[in-house]
Structure 1
Amino acid sequence: MNFEDEKKYLAVDIGSNAMRASVAILDHANDLEVIETFRYPLRLGGEAFTQGEFSPGKIKQTTKAFHQLKDAISAHELEDIKVVATSAVRDSRNSDELISKVKDKVGFDIEVINGELEADLIQKAIGTVVDLSEKKSLLVDIGGGSTEFSLVENESVVFSTSYPCGTLRFLEEQKASKLISEIDAMTDDLKSKLDQFNPDHTQYDLCIGTGGNLRRMGKLRNLFFNRSAHKITQQELSAIKIEVAKLSLRQRVIYLTMREDRADVIVPAMEIIESLLIKFELPEILLPNVGLKEGIFIDQIGDVPRNIILN
């Protein structure tokens, strides 16, 4: 049921590792409250980044997930529905087939967005929970297929870039030395680009990370050190990475309470952040519990809510 002065929205993020959806209410005070969340471990990037296209089985699995989502939200009177797809759907040769199947069979319209728009939506979400005014901030979002970086000065994005270096792509690397070499090359290139906007090489005020891998790093900080999950220091990250890398996939699932589709990509994600913090001489990275879905909500509403309240 909706009260007269409330509106409900559905935001869906089709990522390379999983599809995530949230229902939120915008109330009379302009507060956006997330009331339900759903996750479907589709792992579209597993095919997009190795085969270059989706198999009929993967398209069927995705369509089934949308059927399940449609049933789950049927009781809600929704003001607007917005579904966006990122790296895996961008890169697949037959993404049009997946998009049309979902539209024809379930009725959802899928919008494929580029890395720059993805970074912009994430920045809008971060700005609701972290004060970016009068600061120079570096934002990073690690996905399964790509990693987005944004330079934000005084709440405005002045530069953003996307690298096809996500955790699922790195799963293909069998040698740790090659993985680290590719990550270092990415952060070196990023530093070279950002130095053009920072000729005096002044220190960044904030480094902020989003995405499921970053949230998991915060949870690991809490598990290992009994400290807040909303940030992690470079020293803590390095220590945790060493311990996690020692564990088998099965052990990570059992002892660290990870889903299997997170357990196999967390170490490459930590390698990316560790390299970033070292190269940019950053002591820590903040981990607010917002990301692309919350940015989609802001885009739907057409305004920034007073608060975003997560369930």
Structure 2
Amino acid sequence: MSFRIRKYAAIDIGSNAIRLLVASVTLFDEEPPVFKKISLVRVPIRLGQDVFTTKEIGEVNMNRMVKSMESYALLMDVHKVEKYKAYATSAMREAQNGEEVARLIKKKTGINIEIIDGSHEAAIIAMTDLHSMIHDNKVYLYVDVGGGSTEFTLFADGEAKASRSFKIGTVRLLNDMVTKKLWSEAEVWIKEICQPYAKVELLGSGGNINNIYKSSEKSTGKPLSYLYLSSYYEKLQSYTYEERVYYLNLNQDRADVIIPACRIYLSAMKWSRAKNIYVPKIGLADGIIKSIYNADKR
């Protein structure tokens, strides 16, 4: 009988926040591995606000990043993490000083950050439990909304048929940095890839849709309807920022981006003619853990 528990960590450096996920993988004889989340820490550092407006990460956020990574290095140490990966997406990808910041963090904390593109990001997310939710006889449009970009993937016959990343993100929308032309491009592309199929379901991921799903009190696995999401969107808009924090119990850094996030999901549902959106609790960090495990078992 063989039994082993391995510990891995994933650091996801997004445009709206930086997350550390520590997970264990239990290996028992010839049974499939069991993945379990042990700890998830989220620090609300909005790198996108800097990058999308000034083209670089400012000194204040740079110092906050260093402190966050120092704390993440300590947490990984006390959790006895064997291996980790730190991936940065849209904001650091576009920052003129992105590589410079990555070098500084490596020097100060020992954490090595890899800056990845949208297609690499989509491929990592595809390593998650997403496939267990995709049925061969159904068609899905997977929509992952971030602060700087949104990744779309169409699944049909149990496999990915088309994938694309658009620079339509919540932080960009807050700063009025998404052109009508870009919205039109996304609309045309989604309508085009969904056109051959009579029925498409949406799969939504990202902190905002997870928050909306949690507040809906739907039982696990049940979808949100277009009507529900649309009415929730109207409700959000009827409140001031302060009211959203107080009455809806939203985090300060969530209470503003949740509105543009809703707009992206509703647009995707409208263009794909989807009546429902399913919300699997997965994201980039989950995919990173799977990718470390897959590389390890080779």
TM-score by length of 1: 0.87
Q: Is the 8 A contact 2:134 2:140 kept in 1?
A: no
Q: Look up the match of 1:167.
A: 170
Deviation by residue 1:62-116 (Cα, 9 ceiling, x = unmatched): 0110011122222122221101010001110110111001100000111111111
Is this contact kept in 1: 2:201–2:275, CA < 8 A? Answer: no
**What is the one-letter code of the residue matched to 2:276?**
E
Taking the TM superposition and a 5 Å limit, the aligned residue runs for 1:148-159 are: 148-159=151-162
1:303/1:82 Cα in 2 relative to 1: closer, same or farther (>3 Å)? closer
Written as runs of structure 1 = structure 2, the 5 A alignment for 1:214-293 is 214-222=209-217, 231-293=223-285
Which position in structure 2 is the counterpart of 1:15? 14
In structure 2, the partner of 1:103 is: 106
Instruction: Please say if residues 89 and 112 of structure 1, whose CA atoms lie closer than 8 Å, have aligned partners that are also in contact.
Output: yes
Structure 2 residues not aligned, in runs of 5+: none
> Residues of 1 paired with 2:145 and 2:296: CA distance?
24
SS of 1:260 mapped into structure 2: coil
Find the residue that maps to 1:144 and give its secondary structure: coil
Query: What's the offset of the Cα at 1:144?
Result: 0.2
Aligned pairs (5 A) from 1:1-311:
5-29=4-28, 30-127=33-130, 129-173=132-176, 181=180, 184-194=183-193, 201-222=196-217, 231-302=223-294
Residue 156 of structure 1: how far off its partner (Å): 2.6
Do the aligned partners of residues 61 and 92 (structure 1) sit closer, same or farther apart at CA in structure 2, a change above 3 Å counting? same
Write the letter of the residue equivalent to 1:201.
P
- SS of the residue aligned with 1:141? strand
Aligned to 1:309: none
TM-superposition CA deviations, 1:44-63 (whole Å, max 9, x none): 10101110001122211101
Specify the code of the residue in structure 2 equivalent to 1:291: G
Q: CA deviation at 1:293?
A: 0.8
Q: 1:93 to 1:204 in 2, by over 3 A?
A: farther
Identity %: 30
Q: 1:204 to 1:299 in 2, by over 3 A?
A: farther
Cα distance, 1:158 vs structure 2: 2.4
Q: Distance in 1 between matches of 2:171 and 2:76?
A: 30
Distance 1:78 1:128 in 2: 27
Asked if the contact 1:183/1:272 (under 8 Å) is kept, the reply is no
- For 2:193 and 2:47, how far apart are their aligned partners in 1? 31
Deviation string 1:163-220 (CA, Å, 9 cap, x unpaired) is 111000001129xxxx79567524423225525xxxx622344320111111122123
SS state at 1:102 partner: helix
Whether contact under 8 Å (2:9, 2:23) holds in the other structure is: yes
CA shift for structure 1 position 250: 0.9
Query: Alignment length, in residue pairs?
Result: 292
Q: How well do the aligned residues superpose, as a CA RMSD in angstroms?
A: 2.4
C-alpha spacing 1:230/1:102, structure 2 compared with 1 (3 Å): farther
Alignment partners' CA distance in 1, 2:21 and 2:42: 9
Q: Deviations over 1:255-290 (max 9, x none)?
A: 111111111011111111111111211111100111
Q: Which runs of 5+ in 1 are unaligned?
A: 306-311
Decide whether aligned partners of structure 1 residues 192 and 242 sit closer, same or farther in structure 2, where only a CA change above 3 A counts.
closer
Q: Say which structure, 1 or 2, has more relative contact order (CA 8 Å, 6+ apart).
A: 1
Moved more, 60-69 or 3-12: 3-12
Structure-2 change in CA distance of 1:65 and 1:153 (3 Å):
same
